[in-house]
Copies of this chain bind each other. A is one copy, B any other.
């Protein structure tokens, strides 16, 4: 995406980032780029000599550097922390997906739904009876907000989010496209000839500042709520089973599966494709490496890896040894042969 922004002069930008500009400070720059980009309107950060070397190859309009790393014959801005300044730059160029103010005339709002005057409701949105949409909420096209849902203050539902009935979304939440909250939990009882559906009469509740990735599914509880605590971030294509509870400020990467009735502790970090079986728990401050499989409770904080999950170093060691099994077998065979000889 070639962001077409008016941009700033280097002098203006230095001001905005709390630094000092050098070189051609009247030149205009407008977008963040990689250090080695060939973009005279680009701004890159270089926090080390290595970055600076990469930058020497490219033609970036302005470099953001720490004191002591001045790149000589270039245009640059000196700041205390280039990384923090670059982060600030990202905020300066961030541009939300545009949305009309008020309620778009093509939206379908039930007369018994309650929508705050300053909420933004896009075209082709459906909001059902008894739903409550709070102040500053942004609901993009094709979202479905089911009966009795609440969407808390300043939360964002990107295009194509589905909330079944009775879903409670906290404040400052972000739900990405294709996220489905509240589909039936996967519960059936075998009656000897077929599977009888167990009604799923519970809901889903997200606390504040939760982010849910694209095409992620969080099932409604059998009764009570499936729950995600404050500040937890869930990536794309994640499966959260019914009755699950996820602690605060956790991070859950793409394709993770969390089995029904499991509990994830606070500040967990769960790598891609990892899984929790049904009815297991993790402690607080647990880190699961990608594709780890949790089949029993993890009671101690720490890093884990493998299937079944083991302490990380140990799991990694076992995985590496598993790749050496042919060699181990060879050593075993030699021992057997030697012993055979000795035994004669």
> Which chain A residues (255-284) contact chain B, with CB distance < 8 Å?
255, 257, 259, 272-273, 275, 277
Residue on B nearest A230 in the bound complex, by CB: B194
Q: Mark A95-107, 1 if CB is under 8 A from B, else 0.
A: 1011000000010
Select A177's contact among B183, B186, B310, beta carbons within 8 Å. B183
Query: Please, how many angstroms separate the alpha-carbon atoms of A325 and B321 in the complex?
Result: 6
Residue on B nearest A248 in the bound complex, by CB: B194
Q: Are B162 and A159 in contact (CB under 8 A)?
A: yes
Cβ of A128 to closest chain B Cβ, rounded Å: 6
Answer whether A160 and B158 are a contact pair too, CB < 8 Å, given A1-B202, A141-B126: no
Q: Are B290 and A293 in contact (CB under 8 A)?
A: yes
Q: Classify the secondary structure of A's interface with B.
A: loop
Q: Mark A296-338, 1 if CB is under 8 A from B, else 0.
A: 0000000000111010001101111111111011011001101
Residue on B nearest A176 in the bound complex, by CB: B183
Q: Are A195 and B159 in contact (CB under 8 A)?
A: no
Answer whether A148 and B1 are a contact pair too, CB < 8 Å, given A165-B97, A237-B239, A277-B290: yes
Q: Are B332 and A328 in contact (CB under 8 A)?
A: yes
Select A91's contact among B199, B249, B322, B332, beta carbons within 8 Å. B199
Interfacial chain B residues near A37, Cβ < 8 Å: 224
Query: Please, how many angstroms separate the alpha-carbon atoms of A189 and B147 in the complex?
Result: 36
Residue on B nearest A234 in the bound complex, by CB: B186
A61 in the interface (beta carbon within 8 A): no
Select A198's contact among B87, B189, B272, B322, beta carbons within 8 Å. B87
Cβ of A116 to closest chain B Cβ, rounded Å: 21
Q: Are B144 and A159 in contact (CB under 8 A)?
A: yes
Answer whether A177 and B177 are a contact pair too, CB < 8 Å, given A195-B231, A322-B325: no
Interfacial chain B residues near A214, Cβ < 8 Å: 162, 180, 183, 217, 219
Q: Are B189 and A217 in contact (CB under 8 A)?
A: no
Q: Are A308 and B314 in contact (CB under 8 A)?
A: no
Interfacial chain B residues near A272, Cβ < 8 Å: 239, 257, 259, 275, 277
Q: Which one of A28-36, A48-56, A73-81 contacts B?
A: A28-36
Cβ of A236 to closest chain B Cβ, rounded Å: 4
Q: Are A126 and B128 in contact (CB under 8 A)?
A: no
Select A158's contact among B166, B183, B277, B331, beta carbons within 8 Å. B183
Q: Are B326 and A314 in contact (CB under 8 A)?
A: yes
Q: A322-B322, A331-B336 are in contact. List 11 more A-B contacts (CB 8 A).
A: A31-B223, A34-B223, A90-B222, A97-B147, A108-B123, A142-B142, A195-B251, A277-B290, A318-B322, A328-B329, A335-B339
Query: A residues within 8 Å of B by Cβ?
Result: 1, 3, 31-34, 37, 87, 90-91, 93-95, 97-98, 106, 108, 122-124, 126, 128-129, 140-142, 144, 146-148, 158-160, 162, 164-168, 174, 176-178, 180, 183-184, 186, 188-189, 194-195, 197-199, 201-205, 209, 211, 213-215, 217, 219-220, 222-225, 231, 233, 235-237, 239, 241, 249, 251, 253-255, 257, 259, 272-273, 275, 277, 290-291, 293, 306-308, 310, 314-315, 317-326, 328-329, 331-332, 335-336, 338-339, 342-343
